Structure 1
């Protein structure tokens, strides 16, 4: 049986960076990625994608110098974002975070970014086996290895491989992660119950659309999000500018939600009185474009789908984790990274940056026989980001259209006359609304302090 020091399951950003860091630190490393064909890459690659926007401070979270990211990865530099409610809106031109990148952020080509991470991993000496998936993982807790438990991976071709350490990075679908971690969970409290994709994920859908030049100019350096237009916790459409006059128009919504689950369907601009079920992703996008631009443009003629982009004929569907993260069973020599552990977020549309950083940490610690420190180290690196996302997601969980208008009006008051749109510029003079928002945020952050945002802790595992 083939034996390696570090095996990585999954070839997204967490898996690729884990393989690169493990190999760079001298470990014999192999990465397994099932791989799917895409119309925007020549070879097989990871299945999942996202709207592929990068904020300024996210680059620092990834632990990259922005200058080293290849030019062909970046599609459009951004100057701000616009949040649009049913009757109110707010613009932000700064994230308010210290960052080395000099602008608000950028949109990027996900497949090219993935390919760059693969090149780095290969250059470091990792063995990338794209097109070979893992079908099963079993852990030997009684291994005679002086480094503790070992793992047997059964591959999709029937072969088996033994690894001292495993990094699980199979994304929000968690095909291997769930069964692998359930080996160590107490009766009645399985990881599968807590992270089952239909329960713990959102579904996202996006289309690549070609906009008329004069219309594209209106948002060529701006991200646009519509809140309170469609029902569901953290359900919202967006427009992300790409290269040329192409933009990605997409949305995220809960899996399995039904029209009868909506208390007040008449309040949502993208629902029609004639609906007998919730619209599909493509229908939602058509309705959004008609609502915003239908008075001046024929949507299908003037803003057509660009069929040679994305995964398939100009469209993409993919899962996003929408749950709180879990710790890893490091006592079993396993680290879970990225979307598989729940660090990505439907609230801010994905989490490429936290996937990269957790992957880097897992790979480095596995290669240096220090994996027992993983849960502490990833919390120090991305804990503040996770805490922000979890806290804000809690605040807006039950928001309806009127609540979004109130929130955006309050944020506008908080900004005051500031030219840099800093949210906290008028914290104490923006009135009761600002006090309510900040109070709710501080309360939730306090409740989740010291890593309490983790829903399954290291101590919960049984070995």
Structure 2
């Protein structure tokens, strides 16, 4: 049987980063990625669904010097973002965070970024086996290895491989992670109780659309989000500028939500009186474009789908982790990284940066026989980011359209005449309403302090 030091399940940003760090620290490392096709990639590769964008301080969280990221990965430098409510809007032109990158952020070509991470891993010496998936993982807790438990991975080819350490980075679908971790949960409990994809994820859908020059110019350097337009916890549509005059128009929404679950369907701009069920993702996007631009443009003729992009004919459907993270069973020599552990964040603001960083940490610690420190170190590296996002998500969990209008009015008042319109700010000086937001935010941050945001703690595992 083949034996390696570190085996990695999944070749997205977390897995590729883990492979690069493990190999760079001298470990014999193999990565397994089942591979999926894309319209804009010749061969199969990781599930590189295009990301929203990269904010300035996220690059620092990834632990990259922004100057080392290849130019052809970046689509557009961003100057800000616009949050649009049913009757009000607010523009933000700074994240309010210290960052090395000199702009608000950028949108990027996800497949190229993933491929660059793969190149880095290969250059470091990792063995990347794209097109081979892992079907089963069994852990021997009583192994005679001097470094503790070992693992047997069964591959889609039927072959088996033994590894000293395993990094699970199979994304929010968690095809291997759930069963692998259930080996260590107490009787009557399952990791699916916390990370079952239908309950722990949202579904996202987006289309690549070609915009007229004059219309694209309105958002060529900014992200746009519409809040309170569609029902569901942290459900919203967006427009993100790509290259040329192509933009991604998409949305995120809870899985399995039905029209009967909506208290006031008439208050949402993207629902219609004749609806007998919630619209599909494509229907939501058609309605959004018609609402915003239909007076001047024929949507399907003037803003067509670009069929040579995305996963299939200019469209993409993909899961987003929308839950709180879990600790890893490090006593079993297993680390879970990226979306597989829930770190995409409950606010869906984008999870690429925390996936890269958690993967880097897992790979380095596995290669240096220090994996027992993983849960502590990832919290130190990305815990503030996760705490911020979960706290905000809790605050807006029950927001209805009127609540979004109120919140954006408060943010606008907080900004006042300042030219620094911050996404994240410690300055709250807009009266009682701002104090309400601040008090709710502080309460949730206090509740989740010291890593209490994890759903499944390291001490909950049985070995």
Deviation at 1:424, TM superposition (A): 7.5
* Pair 1:130 & 2:125 matched: no
Other-structure match for 2:313: 313
The equivalent residue for 2:369 is: 369
Alignment RMSD? 1.0
Describe the shift of the 1:63–1:409 C-alpha distance in structure 2 as closer, same or farther (beyond 3 A): same
- Helix, strand or coil for the counterpart of 1:224? strand
Q: Secondary structure at the match of 2:405?
A: helix
- Give the whole-Å Cα distance in 2 for the aligned partners of 1:371 and 1:426: 35
Shift of 1:46: 1.3
- Mark the CA change 1:283 to 1:372 in structure 2 (over 3 Å): closer, same or farther: same
Aligned to 2:85: 85
State the SS of the aligned residue for 2:438. helix
- Paired residue for 2:75? 75
Runs of at least 5 residues in structure 1 that lack an aligned partner in the other structure: none
* Secondary structure of 2:379 counterpart: helix
Give CA deviations for 1:310-346 in whole Å, capped at 9, x if unaligned.
Answer: 1110000000000000000000000000000000035
Structure-1 separation of matches of 2:200 and 2:9:
20
Q: Look up the match of 2:170.
A: 170
- 1:431-442 aligned at under 5 Å gives the runs 431-442=431-442
Residue 405 of structure 2 corresponds to residue 421 of structure 1: no
TM alignment of 1:48-197, pairs within 5 A: 48-197=48-197
The 5 Å alignment of 1:213-232 reads 213-232=213-232
Q: Is the 8 A contact 2:97 2:424 kept in 1?
A: no
CA contact (8 A) 1:203 1:252 kept: yes
* Whole-angstrom CA distance in 1 between matches of 2:220 and 2:382: 30
User: How do 1:442-457 residues align onto structure 2 when only pairs under 5 Å count?
Assistant: 442-457=442-457
Structure 1 residue matching 2:402: 3-state secondary structure: helix
Shift of the 441–142 alpha-carbon distance from structure 1 to 2, 3 Å rule, reads same
Going from structure 1 to structure 2, the CA distance change for 1:391 and 1:25 (only over 3 Å counts) comes to: same
Separation (CA, whole Å) in 2 of partners of 1:298 and 1:38: 28
Q: TM-score, normalised by structure 1?
A: 0.99
**Structure 1 residues 195 and 428: CA distance shift in structure 2, 3 A:** closer
Of 366-375 and 43-52, deviating more is 43-52
CA contact (8 A) 1:51 1:240 kept: no
Task: Give aligned pairs, total.
Answer: 463
Alignment partner of 1:253 is 2:253? yes
Take 1:111 and 1:30, find their aligned partners in 2: how far apart are those partners?
21
Mapped partners of 1:253, 1:443: distance in 2: 26
TM-score of the pair, normalised by structure 2: 0.99
Q: CA deviation at 1:180?
A: 0.4
Partner SS state of residue 38, structure 2: coil
Q: Is the Cα–Cα contact under 8 Å of residues 415 and 426 in structure 1 kept in the other structure?
A: no
How does 1:208-287 map onto structure 2 within 5 Å? 208-287=208-287
Q: 2-side partners of 1:24 and 1:422: how far apart?
A: 38
The answer on whether the counterparts of 2:96 and 2:425 sit within 8 Å (CA) in structure 1 is no
8 Å CA contact 1:52, 1:110 repeated in 2? no
Tell me if structure 1 keeps the 8 A contact 2:48–2:111: no
Q: In the alignment, which residue of structure 2 is the partner of 1:291?
A: 291
Structure 1 pair 426/12, CA: closer, same or farther in 2 (3 Å)? closer
> Would the alpha carbon gap of residues 439 and 90 (structure 1) be closer, same or farther in structure 2, given more than 3 Å must change?
same
Partner in structure 2 of residue 301 of structure 1: 301
Rounded Cα–Cα distance in structure 2 between residues aligned with 1:423 and 1:381? 21
Query: Post-superposition, which runs of at least 4 consecutive aligned residues in structure 1 deviate over 3 A?
Result: 422-429
State yes or no: 1:43 paired with 2:39: no
The match for 1:398 is 398
Question: Equivalent residue of 1:42, what SS?
Answer: strand
Quote the offset at 1:187 in angstroms. Answer: 1.4
Structure-2 residue corresponding to 1:206: 206
- Per the alignment, in what secondary structure is the counterpart of residue 183 of structure 1? helix
CA contact under 8 A between 2:346 and 2:389: conserved in structure 1? no
SS at match of 1:172: coil
* Partner of residue 27, structure 2: 27
The 1:425/1:365 distance shift into structure 2, 3 A limit, reads closer
Deviation at 1:422, TM superposition (A): 3.2
